[in-house]
Amino acid sequence: MGRRRRPVDPAAGARAGALPEAIAALSQSLPSGPSPEIFRRAKFDRPEATPALWQLLFRVLAPLPLDNRLASLAPEVQARLVKSALRSQGYPRLALAQLPEDGSQGSRELLLALSWLLARGPVLEQMLAQTRVPLGDEMTVCQCEALASPGPPAPQVRAEDPVDVRHVQWLMGKLRFRWRQLVSSQQEQCTLLSKIHLYTSGCHGDHSLGHLSVAEAEMLRDPEGGQQLLRTLECENRRLEAVLAWRRTELVFWRWMDTVLDTCVLGVPAAASQGTFLPQIPECSGGVLELVAWELRALQEELQEAAEHRRAAWEAKAGGCGRGPEWSAVRRASREAVEKELGALRRCWEQDRDPAQPHVPHRLVRREDGAAGDRDLRAAEVIRTLRSQEACLEAVLHQLQGQCRQELARLAGALPGLIWIPPPGR
Amino acid sequence: MLPRDCSRRLMAELQGALDACAERQLQLEQSLRVCRRLLQAWEPTETRASEPPPGPETNEEDPSPACAPSPQDLKELEFLTQALEKAVRVRRSITMAGETDKAPSLKSRSTVAPPGAIAFAPPQTPGQAGGHASDTRPTKGSCQTTVPPKGHSERQLLSLGDKTRVRTGARAPRPGPGLRDQQMAPSAAPKAPKAFTLKEKGHLLRLPAAFRKMASQNASLWAQLSSMQTSDSTDATAAKTQFLQNMQTASGGPQPRLSAQEVEAETGRLWKACTLLRLRMREELSAAPMDWMQEYRCLLTLEGLQAMVGQCLHRLQELRAAVAEQPPRPCPMGRPPRASPSCGGGADPAWSPQLLVYSSAQELQTLAALRLRVAMLDQQIHLEKVLLEEEVGGLERRRTQG
C-alpha cells in the first residue's frame, strides 16, 4: 500500500492489517459511502477521488432531511456550501478554502476535512440516528428543532415592495389559524393512537412494549409495505454493525491519518485569498449579538438602580445594628445561600443539555398503570415540565411584547415619518 | 409602512413559520390517514395479479385473488386443511359446540397458509359483499415467518369461533358450511359476517418472526452503540485529540479562536442568561420582604444579579472582538436550532429510543397539546425577537446615518 510507517510507533506496524478493516467499516457506515479505494487514493491526492469526497462531505454536513432542493444542487454549489459549512464550524486549514470547486483536485485535503469532522464528534452515530427507522410511535418532547424555519429564508420576498401593515396582520392571522388546525389534528391523532394501542394490547412479543405501534400494525395490514420496512431495517442493522466495527478498529485509522497529514505540504496561503468565499449574505450572528448587548445593558441599568436603592435603604435601616459576631454569621449564611441560588441559575443557561427535556424521540407506550422504568419518561412528569416551560415562555413573551411596544413608541417619537404597528404574536 | 429592510426579514420569518406549520400539518394528516385506515375494517389487498385460489374451492363467490402459491403449496394446503378439519371434527364431537359449521371453515381459513404465513388468527371477511376476498393475509407469500404450531392456531381459532361466531363465507373447502352463510344458525347468536377490525380482534395479531428477530437485533445493536459511546476507549480518544491538534498546528493560517457556530451558540446562551436574569430580577423586585433578613437576602440577590450581568457583558465583549477579527460567515446550510429560553440544544448520546409511558387517551392529548403550545410560544417569541432586532437595528442604523 505504500504507507509511510511512523518510526516511533512499532505497534502501528503490527496493527497494519487492521487498517483496511477500519476503512472498510468506515465506508460501510457512511450513507452511500465511497469505496475504501477512494480513501487510499485520497491519501496520495489522486484527483479521481475528489468528486466522491465532495459528495460525501455534503451528505455529512447538509441538514436532514435531505430534500430534493439540496440533493439536486450542482456539484460546484455543493462544494461551495461544504466550504462554507466547514468554515463556520471552525475548520482550521485554509487550504480547503482554496480548492477548486469543480472536483478536479484536492482529495487529500477533503480526506483531512472528513477526518476532522469524524474526530470532533459522533458523526456516524448522529447520521444513523437521523435516518433511523421508527418502529414505534415516536414523540419528541421538545419541538424546538421540528418547528424551526426550514433553512434559509426563501428568496420569494420581494425586497422592493414596501410592506403593508395589514398584510403582516393578515399573515399573523393565517399563522394563528394554522396553529389551531394543528392542535385539532393533533388531538385527533392522539385519540386514534390511543385506540390502536388499546386494541392491540397483549400482542407484542416484547412485553415491555405490550402493544403494537402504528408501523407494526400497518405492516400486518399491508405485508408489501411490511417487506419494505423489513428491508430498511435490515439495511440499518448492517450499518449499525459497520459503525460498531469502526469503533473497535478506529485507532489504527487515526494513526494513519497522522501520516496523511505529514505528507501534506505546508502551504502558506496569502491572507488575501478571500475570493473563493460566498458573496456576503446578511449575517446571522451579528445582529443577534448587538441585540443581546443592548438587552444586557438595559438590564444592567435597571439592576444598578434597584440595587443601589435597596442598598441605601438597607444601610439606613441596619446601619445601627452593629457588627456583632452573630450578625456576621447571619450575613455569611445569607451570602452563601444567595450564592448557591445564583449558581443554580447560572447553570440553567450554561448547560447546553437539559437532561429532563431530551430531544431524542421517545416511543409511546400505553400502560394502564403508567409504570415506567428508570430511563423512561412518564407522561405525568412530562406534562408538569411542559407546564412550567409554558409559564416561563409566557412570561418571556409578555416581557418581549412590552419591550417591543416601548421600542416602537420610541421609534415613532424619534422618526416621525414611521407608522406604528402593533407587535405581532398576541 | 415598515422600514424596508425590517419588513423583509419579518416577512421572511413569517413565511418560514407558515411553511413550517403547513409541513407539520401535512405530516399529521398523512399519519391520520394511516391511523384511520387501521381502525376501519381491513381490506385485503387486491393488488396482486389474479391467481387461482388455492385448494379445491367450490366456492364461486371468491373472485379476489390470493398470492400465487405454487402447485406444491396448493397440495400442502390441501393436506393441512384436511388434517385440521379432521381435528376439528373430532373436537367438535367432543365439545358439541353449536357453531359447528363455523369451526371448520375458520380452521381452514386461517391455516390455509403456506409455510410462510403470518400467524394471523382472525379469519377474513365473509361473503357479505359478494365474495370479498377472504384471508389473503395468511397466504401472502411475501411474509417470511414460520407457520405457528397448529395446535396454537387451532386453539386460537376455536376460541375465536366461540367468541365471535364469525363465519367465513367464501373459501371453505367444504362447500357446505360456506354456502350456509345465509342460513340461520342453530344458536341464538346473530351470524352477521364481520370484517376484521382492530377493535375486535386486534389483540389476536402476532408479528411475524422475521420482523421480531430483526427488530430485536436492531434494539440490541443500538444498545451496544450507546454503551460504546459512553465508555469510549481512551486510546481512540487520545488519538483523535492528537490528530485534531496536529490539524490545528499544520493549518498554516491564522487560528480562529471561535468558530461561527460557537459564537452563535454562545450568543444563544447569553440571550437565555439575559432572559433568566431579568425574570429573576422581576421576582425579587415584586416580592415584599417580611423581615430584615429577607430584605438583606433580596439585596444580596440583586447585587449578585448585577454582578452576573456584568460578567455576561464582559463575555459579550470578548465575543464581539472574536467576531470582528474575522467577519462572520453565514451558514446557509441549515440553521442551528434557536436557543429557546426554556430548553437547550445538543445531541443526546443515548441513541436507542426510550419509552414515554402514558396511561390514557386524555393524558396523551394533554401532553401533545402542551407540547404544541410550547412550540407555538417559542415561535412567537422568535418572531417578537426578530421584530425587536429589526427595530433596534433600524434605530441604530438611522442614528449612524442621520
**Do residue B340 and residue A172 have CB atoms under 8 angstroms apart?**
no
Return the percentage of chain B with pLDDT > 70, whole number.
51
The pLDDT assigned to B29 comes to 96
Which residues of chain B make contact with A159, given a CB cutoff of 8 A? 4, 8
Closest CA of chain B from A377, distance in Å: 5
Contacts of A93 (CB under 8 A, 6+ apart): A109, A112, A113, B247, B250, B251, B252, B253
The answer to whether A109 and A99 are in contact (CB under 8 A) is: yes
**pLDDT of A296-315, one tens digit each?**
998 899 899 999 988 888 88
pLDDT (tens digit per residue) in A35-47? 888 998 888 888 8
Compute the distance between CA of residue B259 and CA of residue A97 in angstroms, rounded to an integer. 15
Give the residue carrying C-alpha cell 456539484.
Answer: A75
Cα B147 from chain centroid (whole Å): 29
Return the pLDDT at B352.
67
Determine the average pLDDT of the residues in A184-193.
95
Percentage of chain A beyond pLDDT 90 is 19
Beta strands in B264-379 (DSSP E): 354-358
- Helix, strand or coil for residue A140? coil
Provide mean pLDDT across the span A65-78.
77
Cell of A319: 446601619
What is the predicted pLDDT for the residue at A149? 44
Residue B198 to residues A351, B30, B106: CA-CA distances in angstroms? Answer: 46, 19, 18
pLDDT for the residue A362? 86
Residue of A nearest to B206 (CA): A203
- Does the CB of B137 have a partner CB in chain A at under 8 Å? yes
- Decide if A196 and B298 are in contact by the 8 Å CB cutoff: no
When the pLDDT of each residue in chain A is averaged and rounded to a whole number, the result is: 79
Q: Per-residue pLDDT averaged across A365-377, rounded?
A: 82
pLDDT of the residue at A161: 59
Cβ separation A178–B18 shorter than 8 A = yes
pLDDT of residue B349: 52
Mean pLDDT, to the nearest integer, of A102-111? 88
Whether A93 contacts B251, CB under 8 Å:
yes
Locate cell 487529500: which residue? A108
Measure the CA–CA gap between A321 and B72, rounded to whole angstroms: 103
Q: Would you state the pLDDT for residue A127?
A: 87
Of the candidates A214, A224, A379, which has its C-beta nearest B357's C-beta? A379
- Least Cα separation, residue A281 to chain B (angstroms): 7
Cβ contacts of residue B117 below 8 Å, gap of 6+?
A: B137, B138, B139, B140, B143, B145, B147
Let me know: does A171 contact B18? Beta carbons within 8 Å.
yes
Q: Does residue B170 sit in helix, strand or coil?
A: coil
B contact test, residue of A68, A143, A203, A410 with most B CBs within 10 A:
A143
Which of the pair, A317 or B35, is modelled with greater confidence? B35
pLDDT of residue B401: 63
Backbone angles phi, psi at A400, to 5 degrees: -65, -40
Cell of B190: 346473530
* Domain ranges, ordered by start, for chain B: 258-325, 370-401
Q: Is B386 an interface residue toward A (CB < 8 Å)?
A: no
For residue B387, give the nearest of A201, A350, A424 by CB distance: A424
Task: Take residue B225 and report the three cell numbers written for it.
Answer: 452503540
Specify the long-range contacts of residues A163-166, CB closer than 8 Å, at least 24 apart.
Answer: A163/B1, A163/B2, A163/B7, A163/B8, A163/B10, A163/B11, A164/B1, A165/A419, A165/A421, A165/B1, A165/B2
Q: Which three cell numbers stand for residue A219?
A: 405492516
- Long-range (24+ apart) CB contacts under 8 A made by B227-233 are B228/A244, B228/A247, B229/A122, B229/A125, B229/B349, B229/B351, B230/B349, B233/A247, B233/A251
Confidence of residue A348 (pLDDT cuts 50, 70, 90): confident
Q: What is the nearest CA distance from A203 to chain B, expressed in angstroms?
A: 6
Residue A265's pLDDT is what?
59
Average pLDDT on B373-396 reads 82
Number of A:B CB contacts under 8 A?
Answer: 638
B52 has pLDDT over 80: no
Q: Which residues contact B226 (CB under 8 A, 6 or more apart)?
A: B349, B350, B351, B352
pLDDT at A123 over 80: yes
With b for 16 or more beta-carbon neighbours within 10 A and e for fewer, the B238-253 pattern comes to ebbeebbeebeeebeb
Which residues neighbour A368 within 8 Å (Cβ) at sequence distance 6 or greater?
B359
Between residues A144 and A35, the one the model is more confident about: A35
Question: Cβ–Cβ of B236/A251 closer than 8 Å?
Answer: yes
Contacts of residue B369 in chain A, CB cutoff 8 Å? 183, 186-187
Confidence grade of residue B384 (pLDDT, cut at 50, 70, 90)? confident
Whether the per-residue pLDDT at B371 is higher than 60: the answer is yes
Distance of CA B251 to the CA centre of its chain: 44
- Region B105-126: what's the mean pLDDT? 42
Region A388-394: mean pLDDT is 86
Contact residues on chain A for B331, CB-CB shorter than 8 A: 84-85, 88, 284
- Dihedral class, residue B165 (left if φ above 0, else alpha if ψ from -120 to 50, else beta): left
Of B143, B228, B378, the CB nearest to A244: B228
Interface contact flag, B22 A178, Cβ < 8 Å: yes
Q: Which of A88-102, A245-259, B69-83, B200-214 has the highest mean pLDDT?
A: A245-259
Strands B354-358 and A362-366: parallel
User: What is the rounded CA–CA span in Å between residue A238 and residue A92?
Assistant: 34
* Residue range B175-195, pLDDT digits in tens: 443 334 444 444 444 444 567
In this prediction, residue A396 carries a pLDDT of 84
Strand-pair partners of B354: A362
Residue bearing the bigger pLDDT, A358 or A405:
A405
Contact residues, chain B, for A299 at CB < 8 Å? 274, 277-278, 281, 309
Contacts of B28 in chain A (CB under 8 A): 182, 185-186, 189
Residue A193 has pLDDT above 80, yes or no: yes
**Mapping DSSP to helix (H, G, I), strand (E, B) and coil, where does residue A138 land?**
strand
Q: How far is CA B201 from the centre of its chain?
A: 23
Average pLDDT, chain B: 67
Contact: B261, A199; criterion CB under 8 Å? no
Q: Which of B273, B377, B262, B304 is nearest to A348 (CA)?
A: B273
Confidence grade of residue B160 (pLDDT, cut at 50, 70, 90) = very low
pLDDT in tens, B198-235: 788 778 888 888 999 999 999 899 988 888 876 667 88
What residues are paired with A365 via a beta bridge? B357
Please list every residue in chain A whose beta carbon sits closer than 8 Å to the beta carbon of residue B214: 230, 233-234, 237
